[in-house]
Every structure is written in C-alpha cells, then in structure tokens.
Structure 1
Amino acid sequence: MSNLTVGTPATRLPTALADDFFDRDAQILARELLGKVIRHRVGDLWLSARIIETEAYYCAEKGSHASLGYTEKRKALFLDGGHIYMYYARGGDSLNFSAQGPGNAVLIKSAYPWVDEVSGPASLAQMLLNNPDAEGRPRPSQKLCAGQTLLCKAMGLKVPVWDAKRFDPEMMLVEDVGLVPAQIIQTTRLGIPHGRDEHLMYRFVDAAYAAYCTRNPLRRGQVEGRDYLLLA
C-alpha cells in the first residue's frame, strides 16, 4: 500500500494499448510512444508519466543488448512485441518494450510526470517521495523522470517484478491519452560505446520537452542537420 493518504479516487480506469500496438518497427514504435502515458499501480494509486524520450534498438546493430546473443536474462527482447524488458543500469532499473522482430526493442529514456483524473496529486506526491535527490529533498517535478533509472525509481518499477512480463491492465500499462507531439527531434543515442554504432540516429525526443529529457538535444553547440533532425 502507498504510504500516503489516498486522495480522490480515479474517476475512470485507464485503457491499455493493445499488444499489437508494439508489434511494429522499433524506430516507428519509438516515435509513436512519444506522448503516451505509462501507468503503474502502487496500492490505490496509479503513478503516471508521459513519455518524452525513447531510443530504438535492433538485434542487427552493435548498440543493442540483443546483439550480444540470446540469454535467459535477455529473452524478453526475443519475444513478441509488447513484452517488457527490464535491466539494471548504473545501479538503477531501466524499462524497455519489445518491438517487431526478434531482438528489437525501445528503451524508455525519460518521461514527464502526468496528472489527470486517473492519477491525481496524491500520485505525483508518491512519485516525489519515491525519487528524492541525493540530499533526500524532493526533486523538481519536471526533472523527476529525466533519465531511464530516475523514471523507474519515481514510478516504482523493478526488474524482478516486471522483466519478461506482458502488460497488466490492472497493474502496469501504457495508455493513449490523445497527446501527439507537434515536433519530434531525431538524434544519436546516449551512452553507446565507441565502435558500437554510436552514430545511428535512433533517439527520439518530444521537442516541447527537450529541456527535460536525459540530455537536451537542442543545447548550445548542436547544429540541425548535423547533430539532429526535426521531424514534423
């Protein structure tokens, strides 16, 4: 159960995206996931965040976990689109969704807290409690999910609970709430070692939220057409 007093009950139940939504090319899925809302039920609260940054990965390129071969730990990457793949990165949990084709997936790189009739102020308050800064103080809400491990910590998503699972409409899902980014930034992925296809532009950012993603692709010194592309 949540350690917060439950506020106003949700006025509706969230509606999960169908599994076949995820059964598409990883880059297409990465773009289509922008603006969708991840929801995770913790006790009586639905913790929610709008996806603002994703990265596509393919089995055939060197930047992906799947390129290292099948293992029991990586099996979710080789299952049908719509399976959850979670792993530990820098001591934290990371969330991925399998896409069309064995070994292909999308990493949920960062998100932005979402409050609506399903996930009210009490849900956001719980997320703030879940993910304080290094001094134990609340993070600014706009930076609460600004990174793959921060996102999972704020939402209470854990590798042992969700790795290799399907979505559960009563516990964990992705919902289309009708948000469509006006513009998408396409750029290179982050943290890819030299020589592991680090040049591939498989990272996608909702341009309106560029300042709140893992690393702002529009920061000073970046040049359109060289460092990033703008997609309508």
Structure 2
Amino acid sequence: MSYRLLKRNELPLDTVALARFLIGKIVVRELGDARLSGRIVETEAYPVGDEAGHAYRGETPRNRTLFLRRGHAYVYQAYGISWLLNVSSEEAGVGAGTLIRALEPLEGVMWMQQHRGVEKLYDLTRGPGRLAAALDIDRALDGVDLCRKGPLWLAQDAYVAPKIGVSARIGLSRAADQKLRFYVRGNRFVSGPKNLGA
C-alpha cells in the first residue's frame, strides 16, 4: 500500500474538526516484522468542556495524555475489559480527544484474526474495543506520538470518503444528544445501529 505519515500541522487544532478530518485516514500498527493497518471509518469527538469526556474534571495521572498536544494516543480501558484508542486533539495543556470507533481492515488481516480469535472480516474492527484488540493496542501505547513513525502512527493516502454521516454519540448517558459522531455512510465496518445518524 502507498500512504504517508500524517504531520501534526495537518491536523486541525479543534476536536470536532479533527474527528471529521480523521475519517478516511489510516491507523498503522507496527508489530516486529508485521504491519497492521486499517482505514478510520467512524470517530467520536469529546471536545473541551464536554461533560462526557475524560478531561472534563481536569488532568489526572490516568488521563494526562489527553492533555498532550494534538496527535498523541490516549489509550484507556473501559469497564476493566476493552482498551480504547483516542487521539489528543488540542494544544498542550488543553484536555480533549477523538475516539477511534471503527476501522476498515487494510493490512495484516491474518494477525488481526489471531488477536481477536475471529475469522469474519466484518467483525474484526467494527467497534472501538474490537479494533484495539485486533491491532494489539493496550496501555503500553498510551502517550505514543501518532505523528512519528513507531509502534502506532497515523497515515494518509489518496482516499476521499464518499459521504460522511453525522449523529449523536453511542452509549452515553451524559451529553448524549450532541451530534459529535462521524462515519462513512454505507460502510459495513461502521459500528452501532444501522438506522442511527443522517
């Protein structure tokens, strides 16, 4: 595949704009001699001041990587079960992030299947916990600079999303009505109810 590293100055300095911008971009995971990658087809924004966001009550040892300048990984464990990948999205010292909710697998599908214990391509990376498991993402990658080539980085190719849908975020009890979820309309790897969104 032909793609290039995303540079930090290409990332919008705004959480909602970044969540939309990342649709169609590529997450690359380097594992020794193996490369796994997937196209981002669904994101959710958690902007500054969002009561549903992990940065809402300020910086803590657990969420400190959300306060790094835009383009760093914030990896946390939800309900003690699944790891989730987020991208810090503002200036240094300002806490906000974008959750990567779903990927379309591109490279390293065999490795993803082994990591997940699942054969069906459709189920490998459809959802934030699934994609993190497929790419072997855990707390060890928290704070990684995604704008430098390393174990985990962001890339771009010539792909342009045909149409981006917008909806409320999934599974929230607070700030649940805000339309801060972005996704590629019609893409089978998008998570959530099929009738959700516009």
Relative to the length of structure 1, the TM-score reads 0.78
Once the two structures are superposed, what CA deviation does each residue of 1:100-127 show, in whole Å capped at 9, x if it has no partner? 241121000111101xxxx3xxx21111
Give the structure 2 partner of residue 110 of structure 1: 102
Supply the distance in 1 between the matched residues of 2:114 and 2:123 (Cα, whole angstroms). 14
User: CA contact under 8 A between 2:16 and 2:47: conserved in structure 1?
Assistant: no
1:171 deviates by 2.4
Aligned positions of 1:190-209 closer than 5 A: 190-193=170-173, 196-209=174-187
As a proportion of its length, which structure holds more strand?
2
1:212 deviates by 2.4
Gapped regions of structure 1 (runs ≥ 5) = 1-10, 133-137, 223-227
User: CA contact under 8 A between 1:112 and 1:143: conserved in structure 2?
Assistant: no
Give the structure 2 partner of residue 170 of structure 1: 150
Q: Select the residue among 121, 130, 139 that pairs with 1:141.
A: 121
Supply the distance in 2 between the matched residues of 1:71 and 1:153 (Cα, whole angstroms). 25
* Pairing 1:99–2:78 present: no
User: CA contact under 8 A between 1:22 and 1:98: conserved in structure 2?
Assistant: no
User: CA contact under 8 A between 1:95 and 1:148: conserved in structure 2?
Assistant: yes
Superposition CA RMSD, Å: 1.7
Gapped regions of structure 2 (runs ≥ 5) = none
Supply the distance in 1 between the matched residues of 2:48 and 2:16 (Cα, whole angstroms). 13
Runs of 4+ in structure 1 off by over 2 angstroms are 20-23
User: CA contact under 8 A between 2:144 and 2:152: conserved in structure 1?
Assistant: no
Q: Select the residue among 50, 54, 71 that pairs with 1:65.
A: 54
1:23 deviates by 4.5
Once the two structures are superposed, what CA deviation does each residue of 1:82-102 show, in whole Å capped at 9, x if it has no partner? 111010014011000011241
Relative to the length of structure 2, the TM-score reads 0.91
Bigger Cα Rg: 1
1:76 deviates by 1.1
Give the structure 2 partner of residue 82 of structure 1: 71
Matched positions, count: 194
Code of the residue aligned with 1:206 in structure 2: it is V
Give the structure 1 partner of residue 115 of structure 2: 130
1:27 deviates by 1.2
User: CA contact under 8 A between 1:54 and 1:110: conserved in structure 2?
Assistant: yes
Give the structure 2 partner of residue 44 of structure 1: 33
Supply the distance in 1 between the matched residues of 2:124 and 2:114 (Cα, whole angstroms). 10
1:16 deviates by 1.4
* Pairing 1:150–2:130 present: yes
1:15 deviates by 2.6
1:203 deviates by 0.3
User: CA contact under 8 A between 1:48 and 1:113: conserved in structure 2?
Assistant: yes
1:169 deviates by 0.5
Supply the distance in 2 between the matched residues of 1:140 and 1:75 (Cα, whole angstroms). 36
Q: Percent identity?
A: 26
